[in-house]
Structure 1
Amino acid sequence: MNTSEKKAIDLLVNEFWRLGYFTLSRRLGTYLPEPSNIGRFSVDVIGRLKEKYAIGITLTKEDIFNSDLIEKINYLASRKSKATDKSILLLIGVPDEYFKQVKEILSYVDDKIIKNIKLTRIVEHEEINKRNYKLKQEPIFS
């Protein structure tokens, strides 16, 4: 298990929560089940918001330069729910340094499908401890 891959999925799950989605299954999780493959493609997170569903994938450097990426995005973004026949949102987590490249790749996706896709940056933020931050500051007046 790669810790950076797990961290990327954790950040994608946080984005799901920020959008109001409830996480149904996730890969590399502790308590939730692993999502099953959709077609021949693996997904990282599946979420639900009332009657709407969402699929989440994280892209690595290898995925971005893979020739199957456009096919994978087209397939996953064109999914519809069985019960309500509503389009399913595809949330794509991309490392910050490859964000522009993925945006350019998405220009080749059909216009009907592009409205079902949401790109999000995967950026790890350092948590700042207030106590250590105060100790590192120099006094203003001496």
Structure 2
Amino acid sequence: MSHNSMNNAHPILGEGAASSEQFQHVREMFGADIASQAIGLKITVLEEGHCEGEFLVREDMCNGHGTCQGGFIFTFADSLFAGACNSHGEIAVAAQVTIHFIAPVLKGQKVHGVAVEKQRYGRNGITDVTLYCEDKVVAEFRGTSRIVRGVPQ
């Protein structure tokens, strides 16, 4: 267990998010998640089947059109998806995902996302993630997860 998972200085989880023992797996997962840390993701809410967070679009995330490159938007949505589908304490990975980019996001704008697990059946789940910028929907993501035995190799 990393020392960061024991205090409020967690690199991704905001103060009070995922603080109960039930979320130990998620704290460890996000503590080792260098990709989410690199985009500046901050998880603000984590409950069973529900994850919310935000990130600020930096200049180095923008494409030649001056908008946030879609890969950063996707990474953000995928990380919230991971938080929601791993919130039950079992290791869940993506089996299939789709994203619809609806509106551009500009440098300096904050993106807020909400992931909600819609269904769990057997070892599978379906989670929807909606991303907002200034109260406007900018992307919709849907992921299918699969619970696996042990950390993927």
Q: TM above 0.5, one fold? A: no
Higher strand share: 2
* Structure with the greater alpha carbon radius of gyration: 1
